[in-house]
Amino acid sequence: LNLISVKNHLQVQCVCFRFHRKTKAMLCVLLSRNTLLSFSRTGLRHLERRAQLPRPASADVTRHRAAGAASFVPQLGFHTSRRLRALPAPLVFLVLKPAQKLVAIILGRYIRKWWAALPPNKRQQFREAAWRRRWHLLAGGAVLSAVMAAFLLTHLDESPVTGRTRVMVFSRESFMELSQLQSDMVVEQLITHLAQRNQDVTEMSSITWNVHVVDLPVQNAFIMPDGKVFVFTGLLDVVADIHQLTFILGHEMAHSLIGHAAEQASLSHVLDFLSLILLTAVWALCPRDSVAALGQWLQGKLMQFMFERPFSRRLEAEADQVGLQLAAKACADVRAAPVFWQQLELVEELHGEPPLPEWRSSHPSHQNRAKQLDRLVPQALELRANCMCPTLPEADPRAVFSEAMRHLVEEAREQQRAEKEKKAGQAGLITVPLPALQQTPPAPGPPVPLGVVMGPSPALPQPLTSK
Rg (CA), the chain: 36
Full strand arrangement of the beta sheet holding 2-9: 2-9, 12-20, 25-31, 36-40
Q: How many CA atoms lie within 13 A of 109 on its CB side?
A: 6
Name 180's Cβ contacts closer than 8 Å, sequence gap at least 6: 213, 215, 233
* Helix/strand number for the chain, H first, E second: 15, 9
- H or E, element range at 30: strand 25-31
Cα–Cα distance for residue pair 92/96, rounded to 1 Å? 6
- H or E, element range at 18: strand 12-20
CA 194 to chain centre: 18
DSSP state, residue 226: T
Composition of the chain by helix, strand, coil, percent to 5: 60, 10, 30
Closest CA to 37 of 55, 54, 13: 13
Closest CA to 398 of 379, 380, 371: 371
Cα–Cα distance for residue pair 263/226, rounded to 1 Å? 15
Angle, vertex CA 193, rays to CA 187 and CA 197, nearest 5: 150
What CA–CA distances, in Å, run from 209 to 13, 100, 227, 242, 463?
46, 36, 5, 19, 18
Cα–Cα distance for residue pair 205/227, rounded to 1 Å? 11
Rounded to the nearest 10°, the torsion over CA 377, 383, 388, 389 is: -20
345 is an active site residue: no
Under a CB-based contact definition with an 8 Å cutoff, are residues 38 and 22 in contact? Answer: no
DSSP state, residue 305: I
Under a CB-based contact definition with an 8 Å cutoff, are residues 300 and 349 in contact? Answer: no
Under a CB-based contact definition with an 8 Å cutoff, are residues 183 and 316 in contact? Answer: no
Catalytic residue among 177, 252, 316, 403: 252
Q: Which residues have a catalytic role annotated?
A: 252
